Structure formats: C-alpha cells, structure tokens
Amino acid sequence: MKPMNANELLAGLALARPVPITAVVTDSRKVQPGCIFVCFPGERVDGHDYAAKAYQAGAEYVIANHPVEGVPEDHLVICESSYLAMIRMASNYRTLFSPLMIGVTGSVGKTTTKEFCYAVLSAFGNTLKTEGNQNNEIGLPNTLFRLEDTTQYAVVEMGMSHLGEIARLVRAARPSAGIITMIGVSHLENLGTRENILKAKMEICQGLPDGAPLVLNADDDLLPTAQIPGRLRPVWFGIRSSSADVRAINIHTVGEGTGFTLVDNVDGETYEFSVTIPTAGVHTVYDALAAYTAATRLGLERARAARALASYQTTGMRQNIVQHGGVTFIEDCYNASPDSMKAALQILHDRQPGPGGRRIAVLGDMLELGAASEPGHRQTGKWAADAADLLVAYGPLSAAMAEAARQKGLQTIHCQAAEEVVEYLRQNVRSGDVVLAKAIIAYFGGISHGNDRFLDAGCRGNRCVCRYGTFRLFCNSGTAQAALRPDHPGIRPDLA
C-alpha cells in the first residue's frame, strides 16, 4: 500500500490527523506501526477483542463498531459497519491511481474470466488482480489497497448475495469496463428470482464511467432483456448468437485444452484469430471471449490480446486436471450451481477413460438455491446420468440428485457423511478411471485424518487439507477438529 494520510484515507468516516497510513489490516497478527486495524465481529472470533493489542502494537487508528477499552478516543473511529468502512477507505485510496481496470461479475465463471483478463492485460503491462475469489466487501478493498504507482492495468472480481452489494463494490473500484458473464440461479434463496439476480448484477453499471464498454453474454437468456444505461457502450460476446460482436467458431479439443477461431466484428470490419486456451469445456471459451472483448474495447491491440489468452493459468481448485496412480482427477471443488455442474459434467463426458476405466462424478450439495433447490438437484442428477458411469453424491440436498440419477439407470451411491465419500473412493477407484469432484468447498471439507496411498490429511495454516491422491478437499476452518464438522460456523460458501 502506498502511504496515504489518515485524514484523506478516513474521509467520510472521521476527522483524522494528517499522519501517513501504511496499511489497512483486519488480522491482528498483521498489525504494524502506522496501520489502521479494522475490527470485524464474528461468530467465533470478534476483532474487537484484539483492538487494544493492535493499538499497543502501533496501529494509528482502530475502526470499531463500539467503544473499546484500551484504545484512546482520539485513535478510535466508530462505524456502524466495518464492511462499509473498508469500502469507503478503499474508495478514497482508489483516487490516487488511474489504471485501466476491468470489473467482472456474473453468476458463474467470474474467477475464470478474471484470470483470463489477467492473462491478457499482463501481456501489455504491470497488472493487479483479485487474488483467489476475494470478491466481497473485505476482499475487494484489500485488492484496491494493493494498487501502486506502477500498476498499469487491473482486474477486480465482484460477488454478491444480496441487492446493493455490487453497487457498493463497483463505486469503490470504478472500473474502466465491466463484464457480466451470465445470469444463473445462485443466491435464489436470497433474491427470489433470476430477474432479481439480473438486477443485482446490473448494478455494475453504477460505477462505470460514461462511454465505458459493458461486456455481456449474448447467449444468456436474460441479459439481452436488461435495461442498459444509454451512457454505456454494450458489447456482446457469444457462441450461438450470430449477432454477437465477438464469437467463437470451430471449437475443438486440443490435448488438455480447447482451440477455436475468434471472430471479432468491429465497425464493419471482421478480424479472425486462431486461439488455443489451456482449459477444457465450452464454458471456458465464453470466459476467454469476455476477457478479450473487454481488453480490446479498452483499446488494447487485438492480435496480442488473442495470443495472450493462451497464457491463462488456473487457480485454486478450478478445473485442475491431474494424474495419480493411473487415475485422472478433475478438481473443481469450488462453488456449485446447476449451471456450473452442467459445465463440469460436460467436461467429464468428454474425457475418455483409460482401459477398463469409468467416468465417476463426485457431487455435493448446491446451496442458496431457495425454491429451485430440489429441481436443481434433480436436473443435475439427470445430467450426471448422461455424463457418468457412476455418481457419488454427498450431502442431504443431494438425495434428490441421487434419486433422479438412479431413475435414469445410473449406478449411484449417496453418502451422508464426508468420511463415506473418501472411503468409498479409496476402495473402489481403479486405474483408468476419470473422477470429477464438483461441490461447494465446505461440503467436501474435513473428510478424514490418516495416511495411506490414497488418503493423506492434515492441517496447513488455517485450512484443513484432505487429499485423495492429488485430490485436495478444503475446509475454511481454524483447526482439524472444527474441520470435521461441516456445520462449523467457520465454513460457508464464498460469494458468487
């Protein structure tokens, strides 16, 4: 973080002294002299309990929701919401810089699209990106605090679970262009209808400058119905839509990746580029198209942008395809929704097992679907029956998935306990099999502890890591004991 005077960084929150602030931290272990420490209340840990210690360690200001013993009033900023305080400070800090920035949102594909944007922008200069899926009211400010004078380009991911959240994030980030990947069914439990999800995602428009490109999926059924502000410049990408400005044709598999011809129509001129991306599945072609479209509409050179798509690198547990003991593992243990389940199952369907091998789908519960939960799980079971030779379903909601798959004739195992999943795989997976794991992280977290050829579990840092082969199953928890409880309050699905 570039030093910024407290009176400027805290503008709108408090009248502060013009002393330099060198960091904004939410973890008391990262407190350093000259920082601002922000207290967040939690179910297990309350940051207010560490406020006095943070002040003693050199924090110049402490942001809290109420008075805190041990922190002098002239070093205490009381705010009703620590989240809003983070966003306000990030917005103030953002004014120091002017990189070309792409903002990404959507129900599915945000992080992959963000990584494609990073691959493209990095080909042109020093680029900042959201790390992992830090796309919420803490993660986005932390990303903005990493802006420096040397930052030429940036890409930030914005998630939400309620109306109004993206509006707050985008007003702080103020990107130069926006992307909406698609409108799915994630967070129906909170928002009620896909139309409300569309409304929430369209909040990205509120932080875009006049004339900014708004990059939209032409193949989505709802996005073409959106009311786009006349001050913005909509640009459409797609595969099926013949009217899209940027399209992919001749899509084919190239080893572990995908090749296609990118067709770009601009002001009556047509440009074509042969593209190969190191990702499997047509859904990742959409993500690559979105990144190319945003970058080129910001003025970046087309051919170089198209070539740069090949430098994409996967992050976390998204579509890692690894080999272990003759078994192919497709690791996709991130948030799950019917849309992403369908895409992952298509990848499984397209993979050819080895001699005597089978396609095995290991699928967990999909959360926050509201009234769409049971039909969404049943439809996923039907898709699994078309893509797999065996379904291993885990979690109470996945009972409907297992039943639907079984009704279509698919061999199905439904596990109530996470330990059952690993034990079944350990005993039944054989050389030649292709195994897909797709689920909310929390439901495949904290599976077991032990050691043998296939199972190796232990704690690393503050995350419990369980391995089935090279197949990592994560749980956001502080201890191994907590990880053994899927309902532990430290475990929750990330925002989508």
For 237-286, write each residue's pLDDT tens digit: 999 999 999 999 999 988 888 999 999 999 999 999 999 999 888 889 99
Tokens of 246: 């940027």
Instruction: Name the pLDDT band for 11 (thresholds 50, 70, 90).
Output: very high
pLDDT of residue 324: 81
Spatial distance between the Cα atoms of 455 and 448, rounded to a whole number of angstroms = 8
Mean pLDDT of the region 82-90: 97
Instruction: Give residues with Cβ within 8 angstroms of 83, minimum separation 6.
Output: 40, 137, 138
pLDDT of residue 190: 78
pLDDT at 437 over 80: yes
* Tens of pLDDT, residues 333-350: 666 788 788 888 888 888
Spatial distance between the Cα atoms of 215 and 52, rounded to a whole number of angstroms = 46
Tokens of 289: 């198209």
pLDDT at 443 over 60: no
Instruction: Name the pLDDT band for 319 (thresholds 50, 70, 90).
Output: low
Mean pLDDT of the region 41-62: 94
Percent helix / strand / coil, the chain, rounded to 5: 35, 25, 40
pLDDT of residue 476: 30
Q: Which of 32-41, 99-108, 177-186, 483-492 has the lowest mean pLDDT?
A: 483-492
Mean pLDDT of the chain: 85
**Whether 64 contacts 48, CB under 8 Å:** yes
Query: In the chain, pLDDT over 70 holds for what percent of residues?
Result: 86
pLDDT of residue 316: 57
Q: Which of 89-98, 149-158, 308-317 has the lowest mean pLDDT?
A: 308-317
pLDDT of residue 186: 73
pTM of the shown model: 0.78
pLDDT at 188 over 80: no
Dihedral of the alpha carbons of 299, 302, 303, 306, in degrees to the nearest 10: 110
Q: Cα–Cα–Cα angle for 115, 118, 120, nearest 5°? A: 115
Mean pLDDT of the region 297-314: 96
pLDDT of residue 318: 60
pLDDT of residue 328: 87
Q: Which of 167-176, 231-240, 337-346, 405-414 has the lowest mean pLDDT?
A: 337-346
Mean pLDDT of the region 309-322: 77
pLDDT at 470 over 60: no
* Tens of pLDDT, residues 369-382: 887 788 889 999 99
Among 186, 448, 471, smallest CA distance to 331 is for: 471
- Neighbour tally for 29: CB within 10 Å: 8
Among 93, 186, 101, 199, smallest CA distance to 146 is for: 93
Of residues 77 and 449, more confidently modeled? 77
Q: Which of 299-308, 380-389, 449-458 has the lowest mean pLDDT?
A: 449-458
pLDDT of residue 493: 31
Spatial distance between the Cα atoms of 424 and 362, rounded to a whole number of angstroms = 11
- Measured CA distances, 412 to 14, 384, 471 (Å): 59, 10, 21
AA identity, residue 265: N
Q: Which of 224-228, 235-239, 266-270, 412-416 has the lowest mean pLDDT?
A: 412-416
**Whether 365 contacts 334, CB under 8 Å:** no
The position carrying tokens 């999926």 is: 217
Mean pLDDT of the region 203-228: 97
